[in-house]
Amino acid sequence: MPPAADESGAGTDADVFVTLAGDKGTFGPYTLPAAKQAFETGSADTFSLSTPDLGRIASLTIGHNNKGFGAAWCLARVELGGCWEQATGVAC
């Protein structure tokens, strides 16, 4: 999941959450369980989520709670993969 951009100050110490919406339902907001070094500048973090059947994914919302010092975040890219019909890459 989301790599932070590779520029100074791109990481965040805030809690990051995702919401997935499909044609059969919505999942989230779900707070991603982050290790201490997750979401830092230049990092690429991977998460596995178990969701109910959402059908064809229509949208993905990613945000954070603005908590902590240096909460601003510059997300570079998101990739979805798994049980959906096809993997989806979204450039931000």
Q: Look at residue 11 and tell me if it is in a domain.
A: no
Report the pLDDT averaged over residues 2-26. 76
What is the pLDDT at residue 80?
A: 77
Q: Look at residue 72 and tell me if it is in a domain.
A: yes
Q: Domain span at residue 71?
A: 16-91
Q: Look at residue 1 and tell me if it is in a domain.
A: no
Q: Look at residue 9 and tell me if it is in a domain.
A: no
Could you tell me the pTM of the whole model? Answer: 0.71
Confidence band of 32 (pLDDT split at 50, 70, 90): confident
Flag whether pLDDT at 25 surpasses 90: yes
Q: Look at residue 75 and tell me if it is in a domain.
A: yes
> Measured between alpha carbons, how far is 48 from 70 in angstroms, rounded to an integer?
26
What is the pLDDT at residue 21?
A: 92
Q: Look at residue 2 and tell me if it is in a domain.
A: no
Confidence band of 18 (pLDDT split at 50, 70, 90): very high
> Measured between alpha carbons, how far is 63 from 16 in angstroms, rounded to an integer?
6
Q: Look at residue 69 and tell me if it is in a domain.
A: yes
Structural domain count, the chain: 1
Residues 6 or more apart in contact with residue 59 via CB below 8 angstroms: 20, 21
